[in-house]
Amino acid sequence: MASTPSPNYFISVNRIFLSLCYMNLQKLFPLILMLCLLAGPVAFCQQNNNHTTIALTGARIYPSPTAAPIEKGTVLIRDGKITAVGNTDQVKVPAGAKIIDCSGMILTSAFWNCHVHFIEPKWQDADKIPAAQFNQQMDDMLTSHGFAHIFDLAEFNIYHTLLIRNRIKQGEVHGPVIYTVGSPLVPVNGSPIYIRPFTLPEASDPQFAAAHVRQQIDSGADGIKLWTGSPVGDSIAHMPEDIVRAITTAAHSLGKPVFSHPTDSKGVMAAVNGGVDVLAHTTPDGGEIWSQDTIRQMLAAHIALIPTLKLWAVELHRNNVAGPAYDNFIRIAQKQLHDFAAAGGTILFGTDVGYIPDYSTAEEYTLLAGAGLSFTQILAMLTTAPAQKFHLADKTGQITVGMDADIVLLSADPAADIRSFDKVKYTFGQGKIIYAAP
């Protein structure tokens, strides 16, 4: 029978094994380093220990739309939260902190896009998209434009968006916090012409509508969308107000907001009278500037507005509309927004990206400024206004101690050039870099 090896034998074997591993690692180290560099700053930072303090130093900080800017400011981040904000003389960077030099940059709270879609074919089978491709698609569409929170405003099937959201939550890929309305409701025979031959669930009566709301929210929806006015061709199908009210009552009983696509002034009033929380668009389709009475009723109903001005420009170009007809359509949309804002209405930023294929947000900012909105108003619609509307103002929307570290860094100041809101260098979501410019 063979003898049992002595303990020294195992020690010698282990030493030989470790020595071989060390030699191989020395040979492989250049390759490992190259792969780490190719992975980019996002992958590197996401693997960092979340307990490490990150110091963003030297930026001009806009803590909120109403607060005075901080020159040469420093923001400290730890465990996903903002732990200190102030100028470089006030905030001491602790030893061992990871320092990102942000000199010459502009720092604000990260942005919301309250009207997006994941209906492009490239998002199909989202659970099977390779991680690198998924991240690139998310960067192109959202995170490279500063968005750390988005509201997905309608899919044919809610599970499609849940696949995307769950992959981000699991940490395998990066992206914004995603809220979704799932599958929306339309009036009877009211599926909009631009989605044909597909159809959407029809709110045939209050009972069916309320049941649909409960089913979507039970499945994971964070809100509900409906068409109070739906373009079906040469006419507009309107949802009866009793059905609108049944939808909002069911959603509000579960603590969820309701969004409406109104199309025209009648659709606006159905939303207002039915208790809707957010209009997903202005309504230049109807060809009417909103009356002061309409705006007063909108304000009394505490309804918010997503202008989506760039959408109208894209749709007009698609249909070869130019000249005075184009100018008049855009003018009506901008006038509706201007008057609503001047009256004190709540405005939320949204672009309908995913339905429109051009992901740049620069034109939206230009059109908003053309409607008379100031830098501070646009910053509010990107940050504090949605945080307040969706009851998250205690967590996000401002650069304040205790808030989630949802932060965007810009290469130029949008107070000087409004298009600089789209010149993003970094986007942070809860203290992690979810986008870093190449």
Q: How far is CA 251 from CA 36, 149, 248, 297, in A?
A: 47, 21, 5, 21
Better pLDDT: 49 or 321: 321
Residue 45 clears pLDDT 80, i.e. is over it: no
Domains, the chain? 111-397 (3.20.20.140)
- Using alpha carbons only, give the angle 364, 248, 337 rounded to the nearest 5 degrees: 25
Residue 116 clears pLDDT 90, i.e. is over it: yes
Residue 214 clears pLDDT 60, i.e. is over it: yes
pLDDT band at 41 (very low <50, low <70, confident <90, very high): very low
What burial letters (b/e) apply to 141-150, b meaning 16+ CB within 10 Å? bbbbbbbbbb
Place of tokens 């732990």: 83
pLDDT band at 44 (very low <50, low <70, confident <90, very high): very low
pLDDT of residue 344: 98
Residue 112 clears pLDDT 60, i.e. is over it: yes
DSSP string, 69-100: PEEEEEEEEETTEEEEEEETTT-PPPTTPEEE
pLDDT over 70 percentage in the chain: 89
pLDDT of residue 335: 98
Q: Are strands 304-305 and 236-238 parallel, antiparallel or unpaired?
A: unpaired
Interatomic CA distance for residues 268 and 261, integer angstroms: 8
Residue 78 clears pLDDT 90, i.e. is over it: yes
Residue 64 clears pLDDT 70, i.e. is over it: yes
pLDDT over 90 percentage in the chain: 85
pLDDT of residue 51: 79
- Lowest mean pLDDT: which of 8-22, 106-120, 228-242, 410-424? 8-22
Residue 271 clears pLDDT 90, i.e. is over it: yes
Q: Are strands 236-238 and 229-231 parallel, antiparallel or unpaired?
A: antiparallel
pLDDT of residue 49: 52
pLDDT of residue 29: 39
Q: Are strands 229-231 and 54-61 parallel, antiparallel or unpaired?
A: unpaired
Residues 6 or more apart whose Cβ sits within 8 Å of residue 137: 122, 123, 129
Which of 135, 136, 116, 134 has its CA nearest to residue 124?
Answer: 134
Interatomic CA distance for residues 263 and 282, integer angstroms: 8
User: What is the pLDDT averaged over residues 270-274?
Assistant: 98
- What are the tens digits of pLDDT across the range 48-61? 456 799 999 999 99
pLDDT of residue 14: 36
| Token couple for 333 | 């949309």
Interatomic CA distance for residues 150 and 412, integer angstroms: 23
**Biggest CA-to-CA distance, the chain:** 101
pLDDT band at 233 (very low <50, low <70, confident <90, very high): confident
Q: Residue 392: helix, strand or coil by DSSP?
A: coil
- Lowest mean pLDDT: which of 22-36, 103-117, 364-378, 411-425? 22-36
- Lowest mean pLDDT: which of 26-30, 73-77, 353-357, 392-396? 26-30
Better pLDDT: 385 or 14: 385
Residue 46 clears pLDDT 60, i.e. is over it: no
User: What is the pLDDT averaged over residues 302-306?
Assistant: 98
Tell me: cis bond preceding 197? Omega within 30 of 0 counts.
Answer: yes
> Rounded to the nearest 10 degrees, how much is the dihedral formed by the CA atoms of 230, 200, 381, 159?
180
- What are the tens digits of pLDDT across the range 395-404? 999 999 999 9
pLDDT of residue 196: 87
What is the residue type of 113? N
User: What is the pLDDT averaged over residues 382-410?
Assistant: 98
| Token couple for 58 | 């030297």
- What are the tens digits of pLDDT across the range 80-93? 999 999 998 899 99
Which of 116, 183, 113 has its CA nearest to residue 356?
Answer: 116
pLDDT band at 7 (very low <50, low <70, confident <90, very high): very low
Residue 105 clears pLDDT 70, i.e. is over it: yes
Strands across the sheet containing 147-152: 111-116, 147-152, 177-180
Mean pLDDT, rounded, of the chain: 90
- What are the tens digits of pLDDT across the range 155-213? 989 999 999 999 999 999 999 999 999 999 999 999 999 888 889 999 999 999 999 99
